[in-house]
Amino acid sequence: MAWVLMLAALAQPAQADGGQDVLKAGTGREQVTSRCQTCHSLDYIEMNAGVLDRAGWEKSVNKMIDVMHAPIPKDEVPAIVEYLSRSYGR
Ligand code: HEC
């Protein structure tokens, strides 16, 4: 019986994490959350936290638009890059 409880306990964090992506607070967060989550989870952003600098984030966002065909208006790019480099920049 004890092992069943242990399994249940182990399963908990994974469930609680599922679908609950929350980015750091800041101007532009809503935009990034809505624009970047349509194709993949926001984990992609957290994975690159502290790895990409501003130029790196700008390149990444443009890659999403140019290569992945992300439907993000070009005039929103500066605000998105600003948020990403401020909150997740190197
Ligand atoms: C149109 C779909 C789409 C949208 C919208 C999108 N992405 Fe992506 N993104 C992808 C795909 C597909 C990959 C996986 C590419 C690969 O594995 O090479 C990816 C991968 C990534 C990666 C991993 C590194 C890389 O370059 O492969 C990062 C970081 C990333 N996306 C950030 C973002 C950010 C930030 C936004 C919002 C500005 C965004 N994505 C919006 C499709 C999208």
**Domain ranges, residue 60:** 50-90
Mutate to test the pocket of ligand 1, among 30, 32, 57, 64 (most ligand atoms within 8 A of CB): 64
Taking residue 80's Cβ as centre, other Cβ atoms within 10 Å add up to 19
pLDDT tens column, 18-50: 455 589 999 999 999 999 999 999 999 999 999
29 assigned to some structural domain: no
Residues with CB under 6 A from ligand 1: 35-36, 38-40, 44-45, 48, 60-61, 63-64, 68-70, 72, 80, 84
- Residue type for position 59: K
Listed in sequence order, the residues at least 6 apart from 38 whose beta carbon sits closer than 8 Å to its beta carbon are 70, 71
Q: Within a domain: residue 62?
A: yes
Confidence tier at 14 by pLDDT (50, 70, 90): very low
> What are residue 18's phi and psi, to 5 degrees?
-55, 120
- Out of 23, 30, 40, 69, give the residue to mutate to test ligand 1, the one with the largest number of ligand atoms within 8 Å of its CB: 40
CATH number at residue 68: 1.10.760.10
How many structural domains is the chain composed of? 1
Q: Would 80 be classed as within a structural domain?
A: yes
Domain membership of residue 77 (yes or no) is yes
C-alpha to C-alpha distance for 50 and 88, rounded to whole angstroms: 6
